[in-house]
Amino acid sequence: MKVVLFRPEIPQNTGNIGRLCVAADVSLYLVKPLGFFIDSKEIKRSGLDYWKDLDVKVVENLEEIKKENPKSRFLFLSTHGKKSYTNIKYKEDDILVFGSEGSGLPAKIREDHKKNLLTIPMWGPVRSLNLATAVGIVLYEGLRQIKTHRS
C-alpha cells in the first residue's frame, strides 16, 4: 500500500504521517503545492528521527503517481464519501489518497472517482478528523486485512 497527501498544508500532520508510514513500511507521496517546506523544523520534529527512513516522493500531480503505479487501485478518502472505508477489501497495491487539511479533495477529483470514494463514519458533532488520525485509521485497516489474509 501507499499513501498520498494531496496538497497538504500542516507540516506537523505530514511529519506524523511520515512517521506512521515508516512504522507501516509504506511509501508516502506528497502532491504539490505543499503548505510548508519539506525540510522545515516542524516536519522533522513531528517525524522525529524516522524521517530519514521514509520513502517519500514529492510530485506535481496525481497523474505522476498513476503513471508510476499503473496497476494500482486508487482509493480516495473524503467526508463526502458514501461508502465506509471498512466496507471494501483492501489489496497490497492500493493507494490511499487524502486531501488537504483545509479543503479536502477537490470536487473534480471526488466526482471523477465516485466509485472509489470512501469515508470514515463520524457520529459526533465534528466536520472532519485530523488528517494524521484519518490516515492511521484507514491505513491500518487496510494492512490488518492484507496481513491477516496473508498469514
Q: Average the pLDDT over 25-34 and give the result.
A: 96
Q: Average the pLDDT over 18-40 and give the result.
A: 90
Pairing of strands 27-31, 117-119: unpaired
pLDDT digits (tens, 9 = 90+) for 101-140: 999 999 999 999 999 999 999 999 998 899 999 999 999 9
pLDDT at 145: 95
CATH of 2-150, one of 3.30.530.20, 3.40.50.10280, 3.40.720.10, 3.40.1280.10: 3.40.1280.10
CB environment 66-99: b (16+ within 10 A), e (fewer):
eeebeebebbbbbeebeeebeebebeeebbbbbb
